[in-house]
Amino acid sequence: MQVLILNGPNLDVLARRDPKLYGGLSLNELESRIYGWAHALDITARCRQTNSEGEFIEWIHDAYTNVDAVIVNPGAWSHYSWAIHDALELLEVPLVEVHLSNIEQREEWRRNSVVADLAAKRVSGKGLDGYREALEFLVQRVGAPQ
């Protein structure tokens, strides 16, 4: 099983962000953990991060034909980017929305996600473990590797 993990704006400076909210690890450390979890589950993961909304959308378009599932952390785009919503809406594979912090417990403007209705599962406020939970869910949903 091929899983694409897309991380949005400011995840490249994850280690500089509030460790109480975001866990204190760098993006490289996060990706290393994701690859380790994927290996343990006998699946293939590919992590990508960008601060460019257009590039993020292009990566979603690429996922239409070459992945079995997508995990997406659109960051702040979650709260207003209907362009990302529209791109994700065309996916024919399961989608999991992940947020490191608990967006439902934060500022009012962060509590709404425009991609929530597209997600087979949402994981919020579990830090790095949210990605592990998303991978495990997708293995159950798509099926164990052969």
Which residues are catalytic, by number?
Answer: 22, 99
CB-based burial, 8-45: b 16+ in 10 Å, e otherwise: bbebeebeeeeeeebbebebeebbeebeebbeebebeb
CA torsion sign, 142 to 144 to 145 to 146? negative
**How far apart are the C-alpha atoms of 140 and 69, rounded to whole Å?**
12
Which residues, in sequence order, are CB contacts of 11 under 8 Å at separation 6+?
27, 30, 49, 73, 75
> Which of 47, 50, 105 is CA-nearest to residue 81?
50
